[in-house]
Structure 1
């Protein structure tokens, strides 16, 4: 790294331009890559812009098609970069604060990132006397750093070991920090958490058409299981995308801040690579099942991507989207084994999953004070009573659909003893009412579907309804 004249440097919050107004102590020059040892700023800037402007995807794709340099230049020109998304090295930041407290100026430098991003990061941290960056965000610029005349006699440099330093500069080593394995664990448990493997249980909905259509042959079961695996991998890729986009809101959340990307346990670049690999595997598996099933999977992917970028921030549209996403899983199961989707099952799924999606929002809102807005969602704490009424109404509408199904001609063609199905109605009514009651008491976490999969009473209710369906055949 080479050093230029003092004209190019930009004053920071911790000091001001000109030698007369900056601390007179021995300067410290810090390379941006040391402050952000695990960040890919190009990726972070793109995700930051997408989080604020979902339509930016088209401009980013167009730039990417023109080559890496055009993409970096496009990102460098963006005014939507949010430095609060990033995870900073706490030991380096503490060291810079210590140096600043000694009356020494601290300068931030980057020879490969544009001024807009470097300036945003410097002002966000607020510890730098001044900063300098590459004039062209698309190419490395070894002449990116300039220093005031007061530093011409020398300075400490904290950065690349291979950087060429001028006479008088002293290369120093970073302060002792915790082992990277402690800060960024990469064991299988972290990846299981990142992929949200516990959410795979939701894809058991793909197996529902096996039961409702009475398809119990080994070939149908194997096909449905492969379809469920394809959806699980696709869902994991969507979860990673959601975590990459929503990292700032996750860090402000009481429990979501512990997610691997939000906590810094997994670097965004590695998470993005895993996302692409999972999606490729899911598409390959879906194509092996059938082309119509692949079409359903891609429709699910398109909708869940739209949800991550935009729909989850629109009140009520978000819960309707969640209900549709759950219902698509049931549709996918029917398509995978080649049976027609029952209109009764479609209607029942929409209402029951709409109810659970509303319960999810109810639980999130119940932790907010009056007038407070839910982070990244278009809801306020005062919406709680309305959400509760809508959740209960949707849940009991599902029961009504079930009762109408029992009385239909369709059920008589499938079941020898359709009257037995009436026993399932009070069980379903009890379960829905219990979920609402426990949500109101604060005994359900932010995902009622996962709660149900861990709840013994829910398993007993599900087992009882399943047994009733089998006995009615």
Structure 2
């Protein structure tokens, strides 16, 4: 690799120098990949670019076909990532600080990345005497190492074990798991994988079972089909969550809680996440195809919409919450398609409004917890929008109650229930629950997602159970 030497630091790199006079002591040279934790600079740049400009995938693909030099140059001109939000290896940083404390010079070097990218990291960390990178990302000939003759005492090297070093160079053993490359990322526990897949979010896919209950389809075959349909949506949703985490890795690292997500924290490498995403998609499509072609079509539409949400729609004010409401409603539609029953227009309208309310509450919570007066990252909202979002959430929630009351008075209910008048008792329970969610959001008692809050809340379960008992009595 092109290690820095006293007579060969490019003048353009002078801004990265910490002092003009060379330090005494044995130099420490650190490779860029040794500084990053479980992620390469290329990976960060690629996903950051796609998050800002999805169409850039075509330019990146064309650059790959033209060769590694052109690809790395493309990353230089397109990288939107912030070096302050990269995941750094704490052991490597500790070694560098120790060397500085001993009065030794510390250099950052790379033969993989352009000087613009290497310099951004060097200037952010601010601990390097100087840094060196190859011109336009091209790899230099190994003979360039002979220019290290000015360091007669040799140097210590912190980088890949496979790198060929000149005489007098001493590689520093690395015990941290962060030393692994992308292809050999360390094994992680099942809890980390469960967080990556967001298994706790699978409960949302119980919405696929709603048509089973509203249409009174309680046969073993219908229930089995509905359960497999919920499984297909769970697998597909987990794949969508992984894609979202890959695109939002920079923003997640700036978030108080999302920084602990497996990809943002560096616990799982991007290449592992991509492979897992592919497996989940394959399993979801295979399960959906086994149920029926129409159900596979609904799942494909869901995946297409959630992908559009991850790339673009979530950054457009109000479009994001409407999309979330539709994604929830699609789950209900998919349940009807899976068991072969007609989707009730009443159920469809109620689902749209109640999920619109919950999506607005989710956005309200995010805005209310902002750490500054600036608009939240990746969101097209202003701080003053908070009151309007609260009004819209309340309006959508109580419109759902109105739709439910109209449903009770419809001919559809009379055909399904012997005592439909009993269902009026559900209305005050539903009104109380919606108002309680809004009140708790205002008080800051809902962490992030109101649906997850409801699944953990005893009062919500009591309300749901009471409504279920009332509807059962009305049969």
Question: TM > 0.5 between the two?
Answer: yes
Give 3-state SS (helix, strand or coil) of 1:430's partner: helix
Deviates more, 1:362-371 or 1:224-233: 362-371
Offset at 1:144?
Answer: 7.7
Offset at 1:72?
Answer: 5.8
Offset at 1:389?
Answer: 1.0
User: Matched residues in 2 for 1:390 and 1:40: separation?
Assistant: 43
Aligned to 1:286: 288
The Cα offsets for residues 80-110 of structure 1, whole Å up to 9 and x where unpaired, read as 3443443111121122133234443222222
1:228 aligns with 2:252: no
8 Å Cα contact 2:111/2:138 also seen in 1: no
RMSD in angstroms over aligned alpha carbons? Answer: 3.0
Aligned to 1:129: 129
8 Å Cα contact 1:4/1:144 also seen in 2: no
1:202 counterpart (181, 201, 204): 204
Offset at 1:33?
Answer: 2.4
Give 3-state SS (helix, strand or coil) of 1:463's partner: helix
The Cα offsets for residues 29-58 of structure 1, whole Å up to 9 and x where unpaired, read as 112222225223333221111122232233
Offset at 1:330?
Answer: 0.6
Aligned to 1:211: 213
Deviates more, 1:275-284 or 1:201-210: 275-284
The Cα offsets for residues 354-400 of structure 1, whole Å up to 9 and x where unpaired, read as 11111112222222367342232222333221111111111000001
After superposition, where does 1:333-412 map in structure 2 within 5 Å? 333-368=335-370, 371-412=373-414
Measured at CA, do residues 4 and 71 of structure 1 come closer, stay the same or move farther in structure 2, by a change above 3 Å?
closer
User: Matched residues in 1 for 2:178 and 2:85: separation?
Assistant: 23
Offset at 1:319?
Answer: 0.9
Measured at CA, do residues 2 and 73 of structure 1 come closer, stay the same or move farther in structure 2, by a change above 3 Å?
closer
Measured at CA, do residues 396 and 2 of structure 1 come closer, stay the same or move farther in structure 2, by a change above 3 Å?
closer
8 Å Cα contact 2:51/2:248 also seen in 1: yes
Measured at CA, do residues 64 and 232 of structure 1 come closer, stay the same or move farther in structure 2, by a change above 3 Å?
farther
8 Å Cα contact 1:319/1:357 also seen in 2: yes
Offset at 1:347?
Answer: 0.9
Measured at CA, do residues 165 and 237 of structure 1 come closer, stay the same or move farther in structure 2, by a change above 3 Å?
same
Aligned length: 469
Offset at 1:161?
Answer: 2.9
TM-score (norm 1): 0.89
1:96 aligns with 2:82: no
User: Matched residues in 2 for 1:13 and 1:251: separation?
Assistant: 27
User: Matched residues in 2 for 1:282 and 1:65: separation?
Assistant: 31
TM-score (norm 2): 0.89
Deviates more, 1:160-169 or 1:405-414: 160-169
Offset at 1:13?
Answer: 4.4
Aligned to 1:55: 55
Offset at 1:15?
Answer: 1.3
Measured at CA, do residues 191 and 12 of structure 1 come closer, stay the same or move farther in structure 2, by a change above 3 Å?
farther
Measured at CA, do residues 140 and 15 of structure 1 come closer, stay the same or move farther in structure 2, by a change above 3 Å?
closer
Any stretches of 5+ residues in structure 1 without a counterpart? none
Offset at 1:179?
Answer: 9.2
Aligned to 1:426: 428
User: Matched residues in 1 for 2:361 and 2:336: separation?
Assistant: 27
8 Å Cα contact 1:358/1:390 also seen in 2: yes
Offset at 1:426?
Answer: 1.0
Offset at 1:226?
Answer: 0.6
Give 3-state SS (helix, strand or coil) of 1:11's partner: helix
1:32 aligns with 2:32: yes
User: Matched residues in 2 for 1:74 and 1:136: separation?
Assistant: 10
